Amino acid sequence: MQLAKIPAPDFDLAMTLDSGQVFHWEKAGAGFVGAIGDLAVYLEQQKDILKASGSALRLDGFKPPSFQRVVSHYFALDHQLAEICASFPDDPAMNAAKQFCRGLRIIRQPKWECLATFICSSMKQVAHIRQISRNLRERFGEIRKIDSYVVHIFPSAERIAATSAGELRKCALGYRAKNLLATARLVASGDVDLGKLAALSDIDLRVRLCELPGVGAKVANCVMLFAYERLGAFPIDVWIERVLRERYFPRALKLNARRLEAFTQQYFGGHGGYAQQYLFHHARKTGGRRAVGARNGTRQKR
């Protein structure tokens, strides 16, 4: 197999793929197999070199230089990580996360795939989101082959729109099935043009995304960050909320979502999305989960 060699300094492939922003890459041999849009891809990292091979359904006009550009763009190898990290606030929680997450990048995901996946993510944990993504792809996604691997790419909005809520439920979507179906229909019909939304301001984009079934503030911010390159978008899930409460507001009792959001916007600044991703990944991987022995009765009241 022929592997393109792509320079990738300041990049940690494994950590990036395991940081809760993308859910379809699988370990394979010394690397990972997955897809970038319609393109099946195998990847492995050796120090500062990313080795990659890809195969499309249509072989015409597909040349290595453009393939390398596709991979570099997807993994945002052009993001100036040093500058981004230097823009983070200087506090103990942030500094620990920054050190821990060296090489973690916010990647550029296809819009529909990202939106659909995060609609499915609501009330789910990473392992389960991966399972749902696999179910959807294996049931509805087109097949590609890369080397000896078989890859199911993410199904289009049109394909999802042509299914039924019952079919989607078989993919373990539960009540998310009707939201995914409704949003797929809006996108497939052209009533919503995800590409055109890219022209909107952050505020307007968030409003438009939140109009879609199954999309609230958290999912909208994830899609803005991971598919629209709005690096200031700061999704607040339970992990991040826990970090914020414990590390930034250890004494505050009344912190509603509105106040938290106002704080994150002004405190973390234009690269807040990166800061959030680093805090999130660090918390998730270092047992940030309050010592699982929440046994002795004291589950706070909610």
Between 216 and 270, CB nearer to DNA = 216
Positions 147 through 186 that interact with DNA (CB under 7 A): 169, 172, 174-175, 179
Task: From 18, 81, 26, 77, select the one nearest 49 (Cα to Cα).
Answer: 77
Between 56 and 208, CB nearer to DNA = 208
Report the nearest approach of DNA to the CB of residue 279 (Å): 14
Q: Is 217 in the site for DNA (CB under 7 A)?
A: yes
Q: Which of 10, 147, 237, 261 binds DNA (CB under 7 A)?
A: 237
Q: Which of 87, 122, 165, 247 binds DNA (CB under 7 A)?
A: 122
What token pair was written down for 14?
């494994």
Report the nearest approach of DNA to the CB of residue 166 (Å): 11
Contacts of 272 (CB under 8 A, 6+ apart): 231, 232, 233, 234, 264, 265
User: What is the total count of residues that contact DNA (CB under 7 A)?
Assistant: 35
Neighbour-count burial of 255, counting CB atoms closer than 10 A to its CB (0-12 exposed, 13-18 middle, 19+ buried): middle
**Over the Cα atoms of the chain, what is R_g?**
20
Positions 281 through 300 that interact with DNA (CB under 7 A): 289-290, 292-295, 299
Tell me whether strands 149-152 and 4-7 are parallel, antiparallel or unpaired. Answer: unpaired
Q: Is 215 in the site for DNA (CB under 7 A)?
A: yes
Half-sphere exposure of 218 (CA within 13 A, CB side): 17
Q: Is 58 in the site for DNA (CB under 7 A)?
A: no
Q: Is 102 in contact with 12 (CB distance < 8 Å)? A: yes
Element (DSSP H or E) covering residue 72: helix 64-74
Report the nearest approach of DNA to the CB of residue 135 (Å): 9
What is the binding site for DNA (CB under 7 A)? 121-125, 127-128, 131, 169, 172, 174-175, 179, 210, 212-220, 237-239, 256, 289-290, 292-295, 299, 302
